[in-house]
Amino acid sequence: MKVSDKPAVHLRHPLPTTLRRVLGTLAILLLLAGLAAGYRTNLSGVTLVVDGSVRQLHTHQQSVGALLLDAGLELYPEDIVVPCQDGAAPPVSEGCNAPLEPGMTVRVVRARPVLVEADGQTSLLRTHATTVDQILAEAGVTIAPTDRVTIQSSPEGSDAIPCIRVERAIPITIHEDGREVALTTTATTVGAALREAGLTLYLADRVEPGLAQPLSAGMHIWVERSRPVTIHADGRTIRTRTHRDKVRHVLADLGLVLTGQDYTTPTLDAPIEGDTTVNVIRVTERFLIQQEPIPFEVVWQADPELELDQQRLIQDGEPGVLERRFRLRYENGHEVSRTLENVYVAVPPTTKIYGYGTRIVIRQLETPQGTVEYWRTIRMLATSYSASTAGTSPSSPWYGHTRLGLPMRYGIVAVDPRFISLGSQVYVPGYGTGLAGDTGGAIQGRRIDLGYDDDNLVLWYRWVDVYLLTPVPEQINYILGY
């Protein structure tokens, strides 16, 4: 071996620590990338459809069951997986070993959960049935035509489970005012059953058992109907219903009190039958006093202190008051009768009293024929007549004769005997002395007819003072025309 005369040279370039770490990391990444490339090369692509929702998956799993487990799906025995169940395969809950092939489509149809309430029990059923009858059949529940089936659906977007409720119809008997009705119902209370039977109840109706009482099979329900009553009272109309049997009891329930002579139609003891109308008649009475004047009387009273044919007022008259008392009866504010209770003099009239003179004074009068004595002077209307003007037919036996049977002549005067007594002597100025010996149909009161002979008749028609001459007669009319 040849040995060089030059010494051997050893070159060493140590790598920095940071670089070594980087190189190490790259080596690891290259290794992982190779592994990953090999892994992707072995993945299988499959399509998973769950209740219509599609997902694309890549998996190394070799069976459908492993794929579903890897996808995190929780399955129930009633769920359907295709391909896995063909009707004869075991439930998916026991595992699905169907081989998984690339490009395969796996379909999962979940069973829907439904609650079924029937006969006091609630069960959860998962089903693919589409009708209520199918679901109840799967649940082993049979229903009768009178049973009621209700569905409480889940709100949209809610996870709540829908519920099918079966309410069993039970037989009951309704007794209404003597009628009996058999009914099969699914109602839960007495009130609901009566409503289902189409019965309209009023507050006054009696129901036994109570409306809130739960129903039971074979229950008997008694309905005692109230009767409608219409009350007309005090200007109001009250319509009510009652179980009372008499009018008085209905009024008592309503607080309507009769006082005094109040009455009702029909009467208080009348029965309540059918649709009864009761009229309350309010009776009031008052008294009416009617007054009318009582005319006073006028009397004449002899006054010996007064001279004849003079008068004076002794007492003035005042009318009295006559009162009639009526009883007025009102029914509901309207007068129905008016009865005269009594008539009485409330204020008696005061008699008007005149005094007339009875004192006779004898006086003298100077006349062309001489002095005469007279005891009375009467103002009278003087007329004149003769035998031919007296109105008596010449063929009459009375023609030319006076009332006293004297021949008609000058000096005979006709008078009213109530004023001047027949047979008395009178003096008439312008005529002279005359004998009151005749009367006449037209000579009444203060009239005097002066007699003449037919050949010397003077016509008179004027007022004159007639003097009644003495002696004074025994019978004197002290009041002339008063």
Kindly state the average pLDDT of the residues 106-117. Answer: 86
Between β-strands 112-118 and 121-127, what pairing exists: parallel, antiparallel or unpaired?
Answer: antiparallel
| Amino acid present at 336 | V
431 near 368, Cβ under 8 Å?
A: no
Place of tokens 């009295």: 320
CA distance readout (Å), 378 to 300, 446, 467: 19, 8, 7
Check: CB of residue 227 under 8 Å from CB of residue 275.
yes
Q: What is the DSSP string of 169-224?
A: -EEEEEEETTEEEEEEE--SBHHHHHHHTT----TT-EEES-TTSBP-TTEEEEEE
Distance of CA 172 to the CA centre of its chain: 42
Class of domain 170-224: alpha beta
CATH class name, domain 360-469: mainly beta
CB 379 within 8 A of CB 373: no
Task: Give per-residue pLDDT as tens, 270-301.
Answer: 999 878 999 999 999 999 999 999 999 999 99
Report how far residue 22's alpha carbon sits from residue 263's, in angstroms, rounded to the nearest whole number.
Answer: 124
187 vs 199: CA distance, rounded Å: 14
Candidates 1.20.950, 3.40.50, 3.10.20, 1.10.238; correct CATH number of 45-110? 3.10.20
Entry pTM: 0.49
Q: 64: how many CB neighbours lie within 10 A of its CB?
A: 25
Pairing of β 227-233 and β 276-281 = parallel
Q: Is the dihedral of CA 265, 269, 275, 280 positive or negative?
A: positive
What does the pLDDT look like over 84-103, one tens digit per residue? 765 444 555 456 777 888 87
411: closest CA among 458, 377, 361, 343? 458
In this structure, the number of other CB atoms found within 10 A of the CB of residue 148 comes to 13
pLDDT at 482 over 60: no
Query: Do 190 and 210 touch, CB atoms closer than 8 A?
Result: yes
Q: Tokens representing 448?
A: 């005097």
pLDDT at 262 over 60: yes
CATH topology of domain 286-356: Resuscitation-promoting factor rpfb fold (2.20.230)
154-204 pLDDT, tens per residue?
A: 555 556 788 888 888 889 999 887 788 888 888 889 898 888 888 888 888
Mean pLDDT, the chain, whole residue set:
86
Give yes or no for residue 263 having a pLDDT over 50: yes
What pLDDT digit, counting tens, does each position of 403-457 carry? 999 999 999 999 999 999 999 999 999 999 999 999 999 999 999 999 999 999 9
The bridge status of strand 163-167 relative to strand 148-152 is antiparallel
Whole-number pLDDT of residue 254: 92
Residue 118 is which amino acid? A
Strands 163-167 and 112-118: parallel
How far apart (Å, rounded) are the C-alpha atoms in residues 105 and 82? 8
Structure tokens at 18: 């940071």
Q: What is the CATH number of domain 227-281?
A: 3.10.20
Segment holding 249, helix H or strand E: helix 247-254
Instruction: Give me the residue spans of the domains in the chain.
Output: 45-110, 113-167, 170-224, 227-281, 286-356, 360-469
From the CB of residue 173, how many other CB atoms can be counted at a distance below 10 Å?
13
- Nearest alpha carbon to residue 450 among 438, 442, 465, 441: 438
User: Do the first three CATH levels of 45-110 and 227-281 match, i.e. the same topology?
Assistant: yes
Q: Over the stretch 362-376, which tens digit does the pLDDT of each residue have?
A: 999 999 999 999 999
pLDDT at 31 over 70: no
Mean pLDDT of 256-279: 93
